[in-house]
């Protein structure tokens, strides 16, 4: 190892040492990191110099905002299963990057965030950019460490990757002081376990006793229904889910983050349920269940419509890797604390030779459910009303998007519409949205990260014009880096989610939610991006088709209805 690292570390101070900055870069390489997303700063200069000099195989993507760097790393992790790595400078850089780190941690996305810090010897002496980074990051990550000695750099990097990829995946933070980056250490201290470069590093299997308890509850049900979350996709449990659902003849519904756990074309697929993306038709499926099996999800307020669907009298089996999730929101008749893939496989082995009460009666109603769900949508998708209805855009994307494409949706109009009405033809991570905290400005940056994770795939970032204003600077990043991201702006000149809430709950008293119309296509053209502005509904399909076929980045600006006027699948505003 020492000889190998010596060959890779050019420009060291001696043949027997590496600098702290070099140790940080080589630690990333040892963990299999191939991409780092970040923004430069004074306290990061030794780290950047090491990135420039060493033979490490890492591509650095310079972002225009630290928050964007974290969003890029988050989406990269979601589509690859590898650890997403972001970095930024001290002071304002650390505060700017924090929102993206929080989103990744709460969305169970494996991330390591590195921010440089003031010198150890300057602490408490009022240097520029000093703040207690660990105090800020600790309550919001799985691990947060400020390094105090140069010899600890490899240990802290190993600890952080271990935290990100074991148990429930999440984010870890490293504060790397400026002076430690220039000090030296023995390169033999730098090593990594390859498993800690991707999630899950290790799978936790279920106790057979809990599997038997869950099997008993399921066997007693005639109409069980699955509600599955992003944990199924993260663990790669899609095949086991499909096999068990088929065995039980049980419909499979998903949370927003779990969209893609089963192909939407599967005969047992219900689609997204809950307050954001669910419809009356999908809600009726869950209400018809005599047993609900939660897998890889928290059964939170959005998924369960504030604990009302399913009802409190329905038997519940809850499977999750996090022991604090099981039984948190629903009294469980049986709980399994384990990796979703192993837990579902154990249930298959236990149930495959048993007599099951399930007769598939509820599954037999799914064709009628789909007919009910899609009747109104299909009518609106053909509408020639102006401003353009969002259904028209979804229909165009559905017609022209490749099967393996990735949709990255911002909150507001994109999230509920694409959760509820965009059908994913293949199981897997083909839909990304920031459901933990719902900050605007996610999808453009996250789309860049998703493309770096799957460069042979078409990636489309869908955003409202409110979100566009948060993230417009990253269009320079994607043109500089030759990222062929496709962008859709749903343009309605307001913060639509808040306006719709003011409409439904505050007597349509609209206050401080409207802003002026922006020519998004013209702005994009200024960055060298091929663009279309569409205000005629009959031109939507052609514009989307041409944008997807374009061999570089492209943007389509859709002049759309405001959200409170749409048929958006958000239960608080429906009916």
**DSSP string of 164-197, one letter each residue:** HHSSS--EEEEEEEHHHHHSEE-GGG----GGGG
Do 442 and 339 belong together in one domain? no
Distance between the two ends of the chain, CA-based, in angstroms? 65
Q: Which two tokens stand for residue 96?
A: 């700017």
**45-76: b or e for each residue (b if 16 or more CB lie within 10 Å)?**
bbbbbbbeebebeeebbebbbbbbbbbbbbbb
**Residue 358 pLDDT grade (very low, low, confident, very high; cuts 50, 70, 90):** low
pLDDT digits (tens, 9 = 90+) for 246-304: 999 999 999 999 999 999 999 999 999 999 999 999 999 999 999 999 999 999 999 99
Do 403 and 336 belong together in one domain? no
Domain total for the chain? 3
Q: Rounded CA gap, 262 and 33, in Å?
A: 29
**Contact at 8 Å (CB) between 533 and 521?**
yes
Residue 149 lies in a domain: yes
Look at residue 1 and tell me whether its pLDDT is greater than 50: no
* Helix H or strand E encompassing 338: none
CATH (domain of 306): 3.40.50.1220
Q: Rounded CA gap, 193 and 214, in Å?
A: 35
Residue 377 lies in a domain: no
Average pLDDT over residues 217-224: 95
CATH (domain of 124): 3.40.50.970
- The domain boundary, picked from 138, 166, 197, lies at 197
Share of the chain above pLDDT 70, in %: 97
- The domain boundary, picked from 162, 197, 232, lies at 197
pLDDT digits (tens, 9 = 90+) for 367-419: 999 999 999 999 999 999 999 999 999 999 999 999 999 999 999 899 999 99
- What is the number of other CB atoms lying within 10 angstroms of the CB of residue 507? 8
Residue 203 lies in a domain: no
**Angstrom distances, CA of residue 449 to CA of 65, 371, 444:** 14, 36, 9
Residue 516 lies in a domain: yes
**Residues contacting 97, CB < 8 A, separation 6+:** 66, 67, 69, 70, 86, 88, 113, 115
Do 532 and 450 belong together in one domain? yes
- The predicted model scores a pTM of 0.96
Note the pLDDT of residue 510.
Answer: 97
**460-490: b or e for each residue (b if 16 or more CB lie within 10 Å)?**
bbbbbbbbbebbbebbbbbbebebebbbbbb
Note the pLDDT of residue 15.
Answer: 60
Look at residue 3 and tell me whether its pLDDT is greater than 60: no
* Helix H or strand E encompassing 555: strand 554-559
Domain interval for residue 393: 382-573
Counting every residue written for the chain, the total comes to 575
Do 522 and 457 belong together in one domain? yes
Q: Rounded CA gap, 127 and 215, in Å?
A: 61
Residue 202 lies in a domain: no
Which string of DSSP letters, residue by residue, matches 423-469? Answer: --SSSSS-EEE-TTT--TTHHHHHHHHHHHH-TTS-EEEEEEHHHHH
Q: Which two tokens stand for residue 322?
A: 């996090």
Residue 375 lies in a domain: no
Do 233 and 315 belong together in one domain? yes
DSSP 8-state secondary structure symbol assigned to residue 537: G
Do 66 and 190 belong together in one domain? yes
Q: Which two tokens stand for residue 416?
A: 């509920």
Nearest CA to 411 among 568, 298, 518? 568
Do 442 and 512 belong together in one domain? yes
Residue 373 lies in a domain: no
Residue 70 lies in a domain: yes
- The pLDDT mean for the chain works out to 95
**Contact at 8 Å (CB) between 316 and 333?**
yes
Residue owning tokens 């900055």? 21
Do 177 and 235 belong together in one domain? no
pLDDT digits (tens, 9 = 90+) for 133-179: 999 999 999 999 999 999 999 999 999 999 999 999 999 999 999 99
Average pLDDT over residues 47-61: 98
Do 474 and 342 belong together in one domain? no
Do 223 and 358 belong together in one domain? yes
**Residue 12 pLDDT grade (very low, low, confident, very high; cuts 50, 70, 90):** very low
Look at residue 8 and tell me whether its pLDDT is greater than 80: no
pLDDT digits (tens, 9 = 90+) for 295-330: 999 999 999 999 999 999 999 999 999 999 999 999
Note the pLDDT of residue 101.
Answer: 98
Do 357 and 273 belong together in one domain? yes
- The domain boundary, picked from 366, 399, 416, lies at 366
Distance of CA 491 to the CA centre of its chain: 23
Q: Rounded CA gap, 206 and 467, in Å?
A: 42
Do 302 and 419 belong together in one domain? no
């Amino acid at each position: 190892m020492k000889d190998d690292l010596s060959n890779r570390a050019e420009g060291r101070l001696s043949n027997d040492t590496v600098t702290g900055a070099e140790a940080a870069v080589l630690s990333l390489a040892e963990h299999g990191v191939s991409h780092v997303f970040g923004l430069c700063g004074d306290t990061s200069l030794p780290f950047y110099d090491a990135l420039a000099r060493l033979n490490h195989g890492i591509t650095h993507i310079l972002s225009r905002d630290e928050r964007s760097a974290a969003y890029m790393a988050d989406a990269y992790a979601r589509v690859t299963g590898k650890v997403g790595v972001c970095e930024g400078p001290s002071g304002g850089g650390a505060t700017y990057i924090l929102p993206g780190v929080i989103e990744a941690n709460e969305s169970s996305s494996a991330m390591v965030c590195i921010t440089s810090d003031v010198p150890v010897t300057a602490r408490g002496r009022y240097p520029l950019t000093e703040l207690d980074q660990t105090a800020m990051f600790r309550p919001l990550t799985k691990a947060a460490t400020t390094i105090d000695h140069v010899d600890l750099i490899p240990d802290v990097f190993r600890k952080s990757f271990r935290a990100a990829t074991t148990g429930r995946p999440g984010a870890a933070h490293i504060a790397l002081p400026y002076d430690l980056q220039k000090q030296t250490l023995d390169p033999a201290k730098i090593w990594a376990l390859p498993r800690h470069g991707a999630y899950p590093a290790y799978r936790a299997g279920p106790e057979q006793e809990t599997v038997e308890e869950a099997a008993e509850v399921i066997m007693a049900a005639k109409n069980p229904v699955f509600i599955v979350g992003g944990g199924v996709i993260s663990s790669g449990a899609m095949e086991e889910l499909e096999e068990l659902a088929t065995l039980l003849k049980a419909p499979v519904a998903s949370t927003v983050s779990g969209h893609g756990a089963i192909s939407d074309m599967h005969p047992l697929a219900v689609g997204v349920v809950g307050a954001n993306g669910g419809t009356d038709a999908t809600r009726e499926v869950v209400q018809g269940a005599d047993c609900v099996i939660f897998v890889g999800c928290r059964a939170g307020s959005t998924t369960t419509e504030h604990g009302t669907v399913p009802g409190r009298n329905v038997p519940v089996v809850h499977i999750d890797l996090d022991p604090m999730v099981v039984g948190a929101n629903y009294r469980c008749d049986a709980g399994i604390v384990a990796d979703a893939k192993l837990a579902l496989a154990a249930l298959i082995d236990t149930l495959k030779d048993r007599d099951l009460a399930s007769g598939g009666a509820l599954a037999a109603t799914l064709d009628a459910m789909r007919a009910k769900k899609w009747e109104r949508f299909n009518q609106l998708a053909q509408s020639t009303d102006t401003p353009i209805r969002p259904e028209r855009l979804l229909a165009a994307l559905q017609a022209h998007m490749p099967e393996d494409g990735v949709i990255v949706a911002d909150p507001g109009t994109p999230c509920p519409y694409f959760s509820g009405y965009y059908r994913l033809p293949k199981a897997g991570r083909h839909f990304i949205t920031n459901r933990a905290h719902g900050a605007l400005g996610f999808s453009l940056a996250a789309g860049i990260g998703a493309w770096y994770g799957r460069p042979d795939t078409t990636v489309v970032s869908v955003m409202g014009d409110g979100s566009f204003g948060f993230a417009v600077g990253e269009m320079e990043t994607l043109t500089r880096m030759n990222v062929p991201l496709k962008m859709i702006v749903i343009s309605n000149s307001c913060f639509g989610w808040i306006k719709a809430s003011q409409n439904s709950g505050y007597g349509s008293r609209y206050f401080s939610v409207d802003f002026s119309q922006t020519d998004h296509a013209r702005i994009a053209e200024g960055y060298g991006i091929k663009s279309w502005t569409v205000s005629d509904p009959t031109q939507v399909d052609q514009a989307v088709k041409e944008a997807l076929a374009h061999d570089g980045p492209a943007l389509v600006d859709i002049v759309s209805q405001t959200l409170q006027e749409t048929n958006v699948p958000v239960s608080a505003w429906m009916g």
